[in-house]
């Protein structure tokens, strides 16, 4: 069997959970079948049964509005994907950035279309800030691809319910295959030179955030919760790649306000390498995931694999990863409703985040036990080898 995988992110261009997913899934799939990955970038390599090629934007977009450029650039790359033969038994697409290529492969080459839903555009209305009218285009191509796919993979049970609620898809076409974690790569480490490099005080317990600066990740709510933390609790924000200038400015203002009560906040405003992030996880007292929308939350698995207790909002697929009272604490979340997925009562949500963090930083023995249980859960339930095997089984079903 040969699978054609179309994706925006692939190493070295990985900035989110979908990119992490595709990187490890492709690696494990290539132990079982032939895999042809076509991605945004300049990659060109062959590793055993894994072939990876990057594609540039092939149109002149210099005069295009800044907010439309990501969408039109993605479509340009998708045409590049399909300008070469699709010698595969099926095409598997990841995120709306690659959906047009999957549609073309199915229609032009007659091969089955498999689609993994890492997030859903109807549940990310804030993307209009970033894309303007391009958001309507991304929503259109996502809907078209999902409703014509031969199989849709949801990364959590909650996401499957969202797909069935929001799209016209037969239930038998929507399958749940969770995200995974490489527990050999993400494991506890005693190394701490990265903490010293960023000036992180190892003598105090700190709460850690890792992720992009985007509405979805809820980071501004965590920053605003800092004023409710116990004195002596450190804060490390490993947060970069803001979606828009507006949220970048909002983040800067929120951090400036928080520093009035917690001057020692460490803000690492860049995407760091895996060795560094493993150290940040391993030495944190608590990892916090304050997302307002999270189909799965692979970031929680990374922290758990490094034996760190988790405090996370109870949204999307997170409750399928974090076991409350065993591997961490879940914070209740009620969305405002309508087109908004922001919390109905932001102040209460922020106080609840702080209360959960305080509860664990006050109890070193409990959070240590949660860390051990979290790693055990990551190893036992979320290995990439298992996820790849289940994916190939689905491939065989749609090809057969």
pLDDT digits (tens, 9 = 90+) for 367-380: 999 999 999 999 99
The SS3 assignment for 345 reads coil
Asked if pLDDT for residue 180 goes beyond 90, the answer is: yes
Distances (CA, A) of 37 to 28, 53, 91, 152, 229: 13, 6, 10, 19, 45
pLDDT in tens, 194-227: 999 999 999 999 999 999 999 999 999 999 999 9
Would you say 234 and 209 are in contact if contact means Cβ atoms under 8 Å apart?
no
Mean pLDDT of 80-87: 94
pLDDT value of position 340 = 67
pLDDT in tens, 227-281: 999 999 999 999 998 989 999 999 999 999 999 999 999 999 988 999 999 999 9
Asked if pLDDT for residue 339 goes beyond 70, the answer is: no
User: Structurally, what CATH architecture does the domain formed by 2-180+383-399 represent?
Assistant: 3-Layer(aba) Sandwich (3.40)
Mean pLDDT of 11-15: 91
CATH superfamily of 193-381: Glycogen Phosphorylase B; (3.40.50.2000)
Mean pLDDT of 287-303: 95
Distance between CA 210 and CA 290 in Å, rounded? Answer: 11
pLDDT value of position 337 = 76
16 band by pLDDT with thresholds 50, 70 and 90:
confident
Distance between CA 317 and CA 380 in Å, rounded? Answer: 18
Residue reference for tokens 């895999």: 35
pLDDT value of position 70 = 93
90 band by pLDDT with thresholds 50, 70 and 90:
very high
pLDDT in tens, 342-357: 899 999 999 999 999 9
pLDDT value of position 342 = 86
- How confident is the prediction for the chain on average, in pLDDT? 95
CA nearest to 215, candidates 332, 131, 276, 311: 131
Number of H helices, E strands in the chain: 14, 16
Distances (CA, A) of 191 to 149, 270, 280, 376: 46, 20, 10, 21
pLDDT in tens, 104-130: 999 999 999 999 999 999 999 888 888
Mean pLDDT of 133-156: 97
Distance between CA 340 and CA 333 in Å, rounded? Answer: 13
Would you say 22 and 5 are in contact if contact means Cβ atoms under 8 Å apart?
yes
Same fold, 2-180+383-399 and 193-381: yes
Mean pLDDT of 19-35: 97
Give me the residue spans of the domains in the chain: 2-180+383-399, 193-381
pLDDT value of position 172 = 98
DSSP letter for 273, please. P
Would you say 158 and 123 are in contact if contact means Cβ atoms under 8 Å apart?
no
pLDDT value of position 126 = 84
pLDDT value of position 17 = 85
329 band by pLDDT with thresholds 50, 70 and 90:
very high
Distance between CA 250 and CA 256 in Å, rounded? Answer: 10
pLDDT value of position 341 = 73
Asked if pLDDT for residue 41 goes beyond 70, the answer is: yes
Distance between CA 9 and CA 54 in Å, rounded? Answer: 10
């Amino acid at each position: 069997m040969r699978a054609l995988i179309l994706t925006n992110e692939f190493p070295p261009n990985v900035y989110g959970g979908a990119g992490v997913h595709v990187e490890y899934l492709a690696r494990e799939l290539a132990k079982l079948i032939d895999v042809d990955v076509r991605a945004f970038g300049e990659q060109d390599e062959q590793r055993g049964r894994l072939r990876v090629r990057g594609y540039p934007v092939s149109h002149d977009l210099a005069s295009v509005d800044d907010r439309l450029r990501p969408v039109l650039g993605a479509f340009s790359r998708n045409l590049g994907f399909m300008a070469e033969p699709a010698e595969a038994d099926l095409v598997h697409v990841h995120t709306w950035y690659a959906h047009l290529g999957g549609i073309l492969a199915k229609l032009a080459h007659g091969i089955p279309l498999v689609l993994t839903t890492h997030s859903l555009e109807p549940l990310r209305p804030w993307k209009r800030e970033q894309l303007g009218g391009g958001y309507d285009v991304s929503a259109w191509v996502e809907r078209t691809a999902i409703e014509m796919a031969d199989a849709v993979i949801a990364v959590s049970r909650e996401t499957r319910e969202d797909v069935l609620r929001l799209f016209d898809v037969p239930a038998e076409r929507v399958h749940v295959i969770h995200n995974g974690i490489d527990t050999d790569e993400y494991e506890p480490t005693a190394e701490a030179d990265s903490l010293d490099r960023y000036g992180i005080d190892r003598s105090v317990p700190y709460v850690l955030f890792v992720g992009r600066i985007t509405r979805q990740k809820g980071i501004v709510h965590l920053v605003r919760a800092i004023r409710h933390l116990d004195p002596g609790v450190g804060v490390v924000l490993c947060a970069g790649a803001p979606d828009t200038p507006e949220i970048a400015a909002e983040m800067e203002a929120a951090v400036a306000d928080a520093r009035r009560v917690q001057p020692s906040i460490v803000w690492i405003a860049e995407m760091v390498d895996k060795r560094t992030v493993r150290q940040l996880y391993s030495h944190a007292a608590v990892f916090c995931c304050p997302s307002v929308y999270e189909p799965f939350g692979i970031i929680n698995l990374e922290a758990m694999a490094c034996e760190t207790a988790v405090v996370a909002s109870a949204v999307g697929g997170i409750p399928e990863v974090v076991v409350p009272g065993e591997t961490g604490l879940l914070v209740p979340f009620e969305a405002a409703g309508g087109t908004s997925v922001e919390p109905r009562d932001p102040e209460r949500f922020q106080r609840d985040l702080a209360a959960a963090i305080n509860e664990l930083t006050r109890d070193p023995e409990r959070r240590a036990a949660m860390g051990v249980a979290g790693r055990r859960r990551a190893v036992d339930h979320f290995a990439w080898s298992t996820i790849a095997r289940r994916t190939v089984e689905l491939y065989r079903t749609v090809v057969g």
